[in-house]
C-alpha cells in the first residue's frame, strides 16, 4: 500500500501542517485584502484572498537563494523541504534519482510573466529580463524544488486546473508502485497576484461583498457566489508503507484508490451537465479497487463556493450514492480557498485526526442541492474518505484515503 | 548620452541592484574578485541580466559572443571591457 | 513501467496528426521533412521588428475546409486550434469516429504557453483601459491545460484528460503517461501530443537569454548560434496492439518505451555532463526492453544552442558509447523550429514518418559539424534498415524525457528481447 508520510505546506495559515491544522480546526480562513492599487479591480469586486504572508517564508529561504525565485517557486521549495523533514528524511547529499516530484499548477507563473510583459510593452523587447523569464515556465516551481532537494528522479508538472493536486497525488502512486521512484513529493504550487485575482473576479468566479452579506466562500451553501482565491504550495511525501514502517515514521494516510474522468459537455473554463458520466466513473473506479460508495464514511469535497461547480458536484455525489443519503461531507475550501494545494493537506490532516472536522461541514446548505450536512459535532471517526475535485473545463479527479 | 564618467562604484551599484544582492554594498565587492561561481553565487542568468541592465543604462549593446568569461569575471574586468565603447559614445 | 501483470507491453500508434509551419496536416509536414527544407521564416504573427531576432517557424493560415464545422473555433486560442486540428486528423487516420464517447478515450497533452498569445492581446489592451472590457474568450483559454481539454471536448473523450507542462520535455512526458494508461488498461484509446503557439513573452524571453539565432538554427554545426522557435501541434493515437488488430487498424509504428529524469542542476542550462538526459534515455530503453546497440536512429533534441548540443552529445556517448558517432541523427528543429511543450510530439511524429519511409530526413542547411559534437547528422535522404529509434528531449529546468519507437511490426521483436532478458 502506498502511503503519505509527510506534509509540507505553505498557505495563508502559515508554514507547516500544524499551522494549517489549527486554522482548519478553527474554521476561519486567513484571508487578507488583495492589493488593488494597480487598478485592475472594478467596482464591487472581491477584495479578499488567502495570501501567503511573506514574513513566514523569508526566514526559511536565505535571500541569496530566493533572490531570483518567483513566489510559487519559493512556496514549492519551502514546502518540499518541509515535507522531507516531516517525513523524517533529509536532503540527499548527491542528486537522488529515486526521489521524484510531481506537482500541479493551475495558474502558472503569473506575476513574473506579467512583469516581463510589462517590460516588453513599456521599454521594448530588448528590456525583457532573462532572470524573470527563467521563472516564467510552468515547471519553475518543480524545477526549483528539485534543485533544492536534489531530486533527480521523474520531474513532472501537471495541469488539470483545480483538480491538479489530486491528479498529482494519483500519479505519485504509480511511480512508487512501478519502482520508478522510492519517494515522491506530490502536490501543487500556485500564486495569486492582483492581476489574476482581478481576472477571476472579472470572470465572476470569486465570492464578492454585497448588501447584507459578507464576502465569504460558502461551498454547497445557499447564496454562494464564488470561491476564495488562494495561493501557496503543498507537497506530500508519498512512499511505500512498508518502507515507511521500517523507517519508524508515522504513516498519515494510505492512498487506497484514485481516478479521473472528463465531462465533454463542459465549455472551456466552466462546468457542464455530464452528471451521470462523472458519477459512473467514480463508482466504476471505486469498484476497480474493491470498494463501493457505502465503504466511504466521509467525503472531503473540492466544492469551493462556485455556483455552477458546486451544483454539479452535489448532483454527481448524489448520483454516485444512488440517491441514498451521503456520508459526512466536509468542505475545507471554505477555509483554504481555491489554488495552492492546501486542500490536499487538509484532507490528510483530517484523516489523520490532526485537524478536527467540526468547523468544516456545510454551513447553510443550498436546499436545491441534496448535500445536507450541517455543522459537525463531536469527534468523528474518519476511516476512509473520498476526496474529490471537479475542475472548471471538464476534468474531475478523486482519491480515496484510508486510515492505516 | 553619458555626461559623467562611469565609475567602478557605479558599476557595482548596478550589479547589486540588478541582481538583488540584498545586504551587499559596493565596498563589499572587491574590484578584481571573481563574481561568477564565487562567494556571491552568480551564474549565467545573472550575467545575461547584467547585460540587459547595462544595455539599458549605458546604451551599449553586448552580444552573447562577447560574454567571454574573462571580460565579465570581475567588476574591474567588466568596466575595462565596457570602457572602449563608453569612450566611443562620448566622442559621438 | 511494468503493468500490473509484470510484463512491459508495447503499444501501437495507429494515427498521427500535425500542424506545423510547413502547413496544416501530416502531408505538408512529411513533404517538408523529406525534402530537407526549413519552415523557419520572418515572423508575421506579431511585429518582431523591435526584437533582437525576427524569424520563427510560424504556421500559415489554414484553408477554410479545415476550420469548417469545428464547434467553438472562433473562440478558441490558436494553440487550441492547432491541437483540435491535429487531433481530428490523427483520429481520422486511425479510422476512429469523431465521437469517442463510447470508448474509454483519454487525452495526455503538453503545452508550454496555452493561450498566452491571446492573453497578451487582452492584457496589452486592458492594463490601461480596464480589464473588464475585453472579450472573455481571450482569457478563458490561457491556462496550459486548455489545448488538451479542447481536444477532449471536440472528440467527446470521457477518460483521463491530463496536461503536462514541463517545458521542452512536456510532450515526451505526456506520451509516456499515455503509454502507461494504455498498458494499464486505464484507457482503450489514448490521444497523446501537444500544442504551442508563438507569443511575445516567449519570443522576448528566449532572446533575453541570448539563446535565439538570427538565422534558422543549425544543430550540431560548428557555427551554431542558438535556437529557432516554432509553433504548431502534433497528436498520436495510441492503443494496445490487440485492440488495433481487432478493429482492423493498421499500426504506423510501435511505442515501445518511455523514460524521464531531472538534472536537479540549473534553471536554464542543461547539466553539461549529460548525465540526467542519459538517465532518461537509459530508462526508456530499459522500459522498452531494448539494448542501446539495437537503436538505429536518434531524433535529437538538437536545439542548436551551444550548450544544449554539447550536453546532448555527452548524453548520447554515455548511453551509446561509440554509437554516438555512428547512429544517424535527425535534428527536426532545424526544419520545424522548437515547439517548446509540443516539441517531443512533433519530433515523435517525424520519427514515425522516418521509420515508415525507412529513410533519413536531411537536416536543412549545410555546414561542418562541430568536432565537439560529432554526431552522424542526417544530411541526405539515405535509405536505412532501422527497426528501433529513440527521441530525446532536454527541457528548461532540467526535465528530460525520452521515447523508444519501433517500425510497425517491431513489437514482436521487443517481446522476444524481453523474454530473453527475463530468462
C114-160 pLDDT, tens digit per residue, is 999 999 999 998 888 778 878 888 888 999 999 999 999 999 999 99
Across the interface, do A64 and B41 touch by the CB < 8 Å criterion? Answer: yes
Label residue A37 left, alpha or beta by phi (over 0 means left) and psi (-120 to 50 means alpha).
alpha
Comparing C49-53, C253-257, C264-268, the range with the smallest average pLDDT is C264-268
Comparing A293-307, B12-26, C19-33, C190-204, the range with the smallest average pLDDT is B12-26
Name the band, by pLDDT with cuts 50, 70 and 90, for residue B42. confident
Whether the Cβ atoms of residue A119 and residue A133 lie closer than 8 Å to each other: no
Comparing A26-40, B56-70, C163-177, C313-327, the range with the smallest average pLDDT is B56-70
Per-residue CA distances from B2 to B8, B50, C141 (Å): 15, 18, 46
Instruction: Give phi and psi for C76, each to the nearest 5.
Output: -80, 150
Helix (H) or strand (E) holding A344: helix A342-351
- pLDDT for the residue numbered C12: 97
CB-count burial class (<10 Å; 0-12, 13-18, 19+) for C384: middle
How far, in Å, CA of C88 to CA of C295, rounded? Answer: 31
Across the interface, do C209 and B43 touch by the CB < 8 Å criterion? Answer: no
pLDDT, tens only, C62-84:
988 878 889 899 999 999 999 99
- pLDDT for the residue numbered C4: 37
Cell readout for C258 is: 518511455
Across the interface, do A64 and B40 touch by the CB < 8 Å criterion? Answer: yes
Across the interface, do C264 and A95 touch by the CB < 8 Å criterion? Answer: yes
Instruction: Give phi and psi for C4, each to the nearest 5.
Output: -55, -25
**Secondary structure string (H, E, C) spanning chain C:** CCCCCCCCCCEEEEEEEEEECCEECHHHHHHHHHCCCCCCEECCCCCCCCCCCCEEECCCCCCHHHHCCCCCHHHCCHHHHHHHHHHHHHHHHCCCCCCCCCCCEEEEEECCCCCHHHHHHHHHHHHHHCCCCCCCHHHHCCCCCHHHHHHHHHCCCCCCEEEECCHHHHHHHHHHHHHHHHHCCCCCEEEEEEEECCCHHHHHHHHHCCCECCCCCCCCECCCCCECEECEEEEEEEECHHHHHHCCCCCCEEEEEEEEEECCCCCCCCCCCCHHHHHHHHHHHHHHCCCHHHEEEEECCCCCCHHHHHHHHHHHHHHHCCHHHHCEEECCHHHHCECHHHHHHHHHHHHHHHHHHCECCCCCCCCCECCCCCCEECCCCCECCCCEEEEEEECHHHEEEEEEEEECCHHHHHHHHHHHHHC
Whether the Cβ atoms of residue C237 and residue C369 lie closer than 8 Å to each other: no
Cβ-based contacts under 8 A for chains B and C: 18
Q: What is the CATH number of the domain that holds A132?
A: 3.40.47.10
User: In which residue are the cell numbers 492505516 written?
Assistant: A404
One domain, residues A156 and A264: no
Chain C neighbours, 3+ Cβ pairs < 8 A = A, B
One domain, residues A168 and A235: yes
Contacts of C340 in chain A (CB under 8 A): none
Per-residue CA distances from C49 to A126, A313, B59, C344 (Å): 11, 50, 19, 29
Chain A neighbours, 3+ Cβ pairs < 8 A = B, C
Chain B residue with the nearest C-alpha to that of C265? B43
Cα angle at C328 between C327 and C332, to 5 degrees?
Answer: 135
pLDDT at C3 over 80: no
- Distance, CA of A401 to chain centre: 15
Chain B residue with the nearest C-alpha to that of A69? B20
Q: Of A321, A331, A400, A324, give the one whose Cα is nearest residue A366.
A: A331
Mark which of A253, A270, A298 sits at the end of a domain.
A253
Name the band, by pLDDT with cuts 50, 70 and 90, for residue C5. very low
Nearest CB among A63, A123, A130 relative to B45 is that of A130
How far, in Å, CA of B56 to CA of C218, rounded? Answer: 30
- pLDDT for the residue numbered C411: 60
One domain, residues A17 and A149: yes
Name the band, by pLDDT with cuts 50, 70 and 90, for residue B91. very low
Chain B residue with the nearest C-alpha to that of C211? B64
- pLDDT for the residue numbered B22: 87
One domain, residues A322 and A221: no
pLDDT at B43 over 90: no
Chain A residue with the nearest C-alpha to that of C71? A267
User: Is the CB of C269 inside 8 Å of chain B's CB atoms?
Assistant: yes
Calculate how close chain A gets to B67, using CA atoms only, in Å.
15
One domain, residues A141 and A262: no
One domain, residues A145 and A226: yes
How far, in Å, CA of A101 to CA of C173, rounded? Answer: 13
| pLDDT average per 10 residues of sequence, chain A (404 residues) | 98 98 95 94 95 96 89 98 96 94 95 95 94 93 94 94 98 94 98 96 95 92 96 98 95 98 97 97 97 96 97 96 91 97 98 92 87 57 96 98 96
One domain, residues A206 and A282: no
Comparing C125-134, C168-177, C349-358, C412-421, the range with the smallest average pLDDT is C412-421
Contacts of B48 in chain A (CB under 8 A): 130-131
- SS3 call for A130: helix
Residue of B16, B23, B49, B57 to mutate, interface with A, max A Cβ within 10 Å: B49
Instruction: Give phi and psi for A329, each to the nearest 5.
Output: -115, 125
Across the interface, do A139 and C279 touch by the CB < 8 Å criterion? Answer: no
Across the interface, do C210 and B51 touch by the CB < 8 Å criterion? Answer: yes
Per-residue CA distances from A223 to A44, A226, A311, A364, A383 (Å): 17, 10, 12, 9, 32
One domain, residues A184 and A289: no
- pLDDT for the residue numbered B88: 55
pLDDT at B68 over 50: yes
Cell readout for C89 is: 486528423
Across the interface, do B67 and C267 touch by the CB < 8 Å criterion? Answer: no
Name the band, by pLDDT with cuts 50, 70 and 90, for residue C410. low
- pLDDT for the residue numbered B1: 53
Cell readout for A62 is: 536565505
- pLDDT for the residue numbered B72: 72
Residues in CB range of A199: below 8 A, 6 or more apart? A40, C131, C139
Average pLDDT score over chain C: 92
pLDDT at C419 over 60: no
Q: How many beta carbons lie within 10 A of that of residue C278, not counting itself?
A: 24
Name the band, by pLDDT with cuts 50, 70 and 90, for residue B55. confident
Active site residues of C: 168, 301, 338
Calculate how close chain C gets to A139, using CA atoms only, in Å.
5
Across the interface, do A202 and C397 touch by the CB < 8 Å criterion? Answer: no
Name the band, by pLDDT with cuts 50, 70 and 90, for residue C289. very high
Nearest CB among A139, A161, A179 relative to C397 is that of A139
Q: Of A8, A85, A63, give the one whose Cα is nearest residue A341.
A: A8
Over residues C413-421, mean pLDDT: 51
Chain C residue with the nearest C-alpha to that of A146? C264
Mark which of A236, A253, A270 sits at the end of a domain.
A253
Across the interface, do B48 and A128 touch by the CB < 8 Å criterion? Answer: no
User: Using CB atoms and an 8 Å cut-off, which of residues 53-92 of chain B contact chain C?
Assistant: 63-64, 67
Across the interface, do A129 and C156 touch by the CB < 8 Å criterion? Answer: no
CATH of domain C11-422: 3.40.47.10
Chain C residue with the nearest C-alpha to that of A139? C166
Residue of B18, B36, B45 to mutate, interface with C, max C Cβ within 10 Å: B45
Extents of the domains making up chain C: 11-422
ipTM over 0.90: yes
One domain, residues A240 and A298: no
- pLDDT for the residue numbered C295: 98
Calculate how close chain A gets to B49, using CA atoms only, in Å.
6
One domain, residues A221 and A266: no
Chain B residue with the nearest C-alpha to that of C209? B48
How far, in Å, CA of C54 to CA of C207, rounded? Answer: 10
Calculate how close chain A gets to C247, using CA atoms only, in Å.
24
pLDDT, tens only, C196-212:
999 999 999 999 999 99
pTM to 2 decimals?
0.95
Chain B residues with at least one Cβ partner in A under 8 Å: 19-23, 40-41, 45-46, 48-49, 52, 55-56
Whether the Cβ atoms of residue C184 and residue C4 lie closer than 8 Å to each other: yes
Across the interface, do C208 and B52 touch by the CB < 8 Å criterion? Answer: yes
Calculate how close chain A gets to C259, using CA atoms only, in Å.
8
Total count of domains within chain A:
2
According to DSSP, the residues that pair with C162 across neighbouring strands are C108
Show the domain range for A368: 257-402
One domain, residues A63 and A185: yes
- pLDDT for the residue numbered A295: 96
Nearest CB among A63, A126, A134 relative to B55 is that of A126
Mark which of A218, A253, A288 sits at the end of a domain.
A253
Whether the Cβ atoms of residue A320 and residue A329 lie closer than 8 Å to each other: no
Residue of B36, B44, B72 to mutate, interface with C, max C Cβ within 10 Å: B44
One domain, residues A315 and A195: no
- pLDDT for the residue numbered C222: 97
**Virtual CA dihedral for C50, C53, C54, C58, nearest 10 degrees?**
-130
- SS3 call for A100: strand
How far, in Å, CA of C149 to CA of C163, rounded? Answer: 8
- pLDDT for the residue numbered C263: 79
Across the interface, do C165 and A137 touch by the CB < 8 Å criterion? Answer: yes
Structural domains in chain B, CATH included, are: 8-91 (1.10.1200.10)
- pLDDT for the residue numbered C94: 98
User: Is the CB of B48 inside 8 Å of chain C's CB atoms?
Assistant: yes
Percent of chain C with pLDDT over 90: 82
pLDDT at C407 over 60: yes
Contacts of C266 in chain B (CB under 8 A): 43-44
Across the interface, do C210 and B44 touch by the CB < 8 Å criterion? Answer: no
Amino acid at each position: 500500500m502506498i502511503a503519505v508520510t509527510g506534509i509540507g505546506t505553505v498557505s495563508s495559515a502559515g508554514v507547516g501542517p500544524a499551522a494549517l491544522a489549527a486554522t482548519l480546526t478553527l474554521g476561519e480562513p486567513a484571508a487578507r485584502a488583495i492589493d488593488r492599487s494597480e487598478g485592475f479591480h472594478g467596482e464591487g469586486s472581491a477584495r479578499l484572498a488567502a495570501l501567503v504572508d511573506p514574513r513566514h517564508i523569508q526566514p526559511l529561504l536565505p535571500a541569496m537563494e530566493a533572490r531570483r525565485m518567483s513566489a510559487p517557486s519559493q512556496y514549492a521549495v519551502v514546502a518540499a523541504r518541509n515535507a522531507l523533514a516531516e517525513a523524517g528524511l533529509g536532503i540527499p547529499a548527491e542528486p537522488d534519482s529515486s526521489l521524484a516530484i510531481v506537482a500541479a499548477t493551475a495558474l502558472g507563473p503569473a506575476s513574473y510573466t506579467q512583469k516581463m510583459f510589462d517590460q516588453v510593452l513599456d521599454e521594448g523587447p530588448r528590456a525583457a529580463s532573462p532572470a524573470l523569464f527563467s521563472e516564467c515556465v510552468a515547471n519553475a516551481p518543480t524545477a526549483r524544488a528539485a534543485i533544492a532537494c536534489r531530486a533527480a528522479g521523474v520531474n513532472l508538472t501537471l495541469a488539470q486546473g483545480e483538480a491538479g493536486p489530486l491528479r498529482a497525488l494519483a500519479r505519485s502512486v504509480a511511480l512508487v508502485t512501478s519502482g520508478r521512484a522510492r519517494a515522491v513529493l506530490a502536490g501543487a504550487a500556485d500564486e495569486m497576484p492582483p492581476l489574476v485575482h482581478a481576472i477571476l473576479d472579472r470572470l465572476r468566479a470569486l465570492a464578492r461583498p454585497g448588501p447584507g452579506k459578507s464576502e465569504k466562500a460558502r461551498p454547497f451553501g445557499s447564496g454562494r457566489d464564488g470561491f476564495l482565491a488562494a495561493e501557496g504550495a503543498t507537497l506530500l511525501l508519498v512512499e511505500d508503507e512498508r518502507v515507511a514502517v521500517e523507517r519508524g515514521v508515522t504513516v498519515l494516510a494510505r492512498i487506497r484508490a484514485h481516478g479521473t474522468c472528463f465531462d465533454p459537455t463542459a465549455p472551456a473554463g466552466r462546468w457542464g451537465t455530464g452528471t451521470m458520466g462523472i458519477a459512473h466513473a467514480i463508482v466504476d473506479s471505486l469498484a476497480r479497487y474493491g470498494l463501493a460508495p457505502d465503504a466511504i464514511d466521509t467525503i472531503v469535497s473540492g466544492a469551493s463556493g462556485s455556483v455552477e461547480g458546486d451544483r454539479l458536484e452535489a448532483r454527481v455525489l448524489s448520483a454516485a450514492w444512488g440517491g441514498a443519503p451521503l456520508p459526512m461531507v466536509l468542505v475545507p475550501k471554505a477555509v483554504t480557498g481555491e489554488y495552492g494545494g492546501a486542500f490536499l493537506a487538509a484532507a490528510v490532516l483530517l484523516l489523520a485526526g490532526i485537524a478536527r472536522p467540526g468547523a468544516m461541514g456545510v454551513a447553510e446548505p443550498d436546499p436545491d442541492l441534496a448535500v445536507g450536512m450541517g455543522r459537525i459535532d463531536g469527534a468523528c471517526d474518519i476511516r476512509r474518505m473520498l476526496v474529490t475535485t471537479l475542475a472548471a473545463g471538464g476534468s474531475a479527479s478523486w482519491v480515496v484515503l484510508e486510515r492505516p | 548620452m553619458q555626461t559623467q564618467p562611469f565609475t567602478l562604484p557605479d558599476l557595482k551599484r548596478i550589479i547589486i541592484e540588478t541582481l538583488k544582492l540584498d545586504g551587499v554594498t559596493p565596498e563589499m565587492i572587491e574590484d578584481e574578485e571573481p563574481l561568477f561561481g564565487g562567494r556571491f553565487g552568480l551564474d549565467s542568468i545573472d550575467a545575461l541580466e547584467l547585460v540587459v541592465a547595462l544595455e539599458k543604462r549605458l546604451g551599449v549593446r553586448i552580444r552573447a559572443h562577447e560574454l567571454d568569461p574573462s571580460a565579465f569575471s570581475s567588476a574591474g574586468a567588466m568596466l575595462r571591457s565596457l570602457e572602449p565603447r563608453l569612450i566611443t559614445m562620448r566622442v559621438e | 513501467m511494468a503493468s500490473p501483470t509484470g510484463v512491459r507491453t508495447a503499444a501501437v500508434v495507429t494515427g498521427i496528426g500535425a500542424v506545423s509551419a510547413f502547413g496544416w496536416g501530416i502531408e505538408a509536414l512529411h513533404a517538408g521533412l523529406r525534402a530537407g527544407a526549413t519552415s523557419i521564416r520572418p515572423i508575421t504573427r506579431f511585429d518582431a521588428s523591435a526584437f533582437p531576432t525576427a524569424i520563427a517557424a510560424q504556421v500559415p493560415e489554414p484553408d477554410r475546409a479545415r476550420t469548417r464545422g469545428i464547434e467553438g473555433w472562433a473562440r478558441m486560442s490558436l494553440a487550441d486550434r492547432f491541437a483540435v486540428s491535429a487531433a481530428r486528423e490523427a483520429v481520422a487516420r486511425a479510422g476512429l469516429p469523431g465521437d469517442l464517447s463510447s470508448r474509454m478515450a483519454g487525452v495526455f497533452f503538453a503545452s508550454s504557453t496555452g493561450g498566452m498569445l491571446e492573453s497578451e492581446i487582452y492584457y496589452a489592451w486592458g492594463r490601461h483601459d480596464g480589464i473588464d472590457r475585453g472579450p472573455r474568450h481571450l482569457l478563458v483559454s490561457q491556462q496550459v491545460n486548455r489545448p488538451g481539454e479542447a481536444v477532449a471536448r471536440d472528440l467527446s473523450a470521457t477518460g483521463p484528460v491530463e496536461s503536462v507542462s514541463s517545458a521542452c520535455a512536456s510532450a515526451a512526458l505526456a506520451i509516456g503517461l499515455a503509454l502507461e494508461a494504455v498498458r494499464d488498461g486505464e484507457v482503450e484509446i489514448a490521444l497523446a501530443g501537444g500544442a504551442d503557439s508563438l507569443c511575445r513573452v516567449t519570443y522576448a524571453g528566449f532572446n533575453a537569454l541570448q539563446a535565439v539565432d538570427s538565422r534558422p538554427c543549425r544543430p550540431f554545426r560548428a557555427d551554431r548560434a542558438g535556437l529557432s522557435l516554432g509553433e504548431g501541434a502534433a497528436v498520436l493515437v495510441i492503443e494496445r496492439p490487440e485492440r488495433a488488430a481487432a478493429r482492423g487498424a493498421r499500426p504506423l509504428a510501435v511505442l515501445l518505451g518511455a523514460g524521464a529524469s531531472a538534472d536537479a542542476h540549473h534553471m536554464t542550462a542543461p547539466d553539461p555532463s549529460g548525465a540526467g538526459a542519459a538517465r532518461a534515455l537509459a530508462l526508456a530503453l530499459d522500459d522498452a526492453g531494448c539494448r542501446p546497440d539495437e537503436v538505429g536512429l536518434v531524433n535529437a533534441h538538437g536545439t542548436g544552442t551551444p550548450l544544449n548540443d554539447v550536453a546532448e552529445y555527452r548524453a548520447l556517448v554515455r548511453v551509446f558509447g561509440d554509437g554516438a558517432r555512428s547512429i544517424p541523427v535527425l535534428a527536426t528543429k532545424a526544419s520545424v523550429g522548437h515547439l517548446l511543450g509540443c516539441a517531443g510530439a512533433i519530433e515523435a511524429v517525424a520519427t514515425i514518418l522516418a521509420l515508415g519511409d525507412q529513410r533519413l530526413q536531411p537536416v536543412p542547411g549545410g555546414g561542418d559539424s562541430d568536432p565537439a559534437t560529432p554526431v552522424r547528422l542526417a544530411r541526405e535522404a539515405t535509405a536505412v534498415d532501422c527497426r528501433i529509434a529513440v527521441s530525446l528531449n532536454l527541457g528548461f529546468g532540467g526535465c528530460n524525457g525520452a521515447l523508444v519507437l519501433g517500425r510497425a511490426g517491431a513489437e514482436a521483436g521487443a517481446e522476444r528481447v524481453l523474454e530473453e532478458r527475463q530468462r
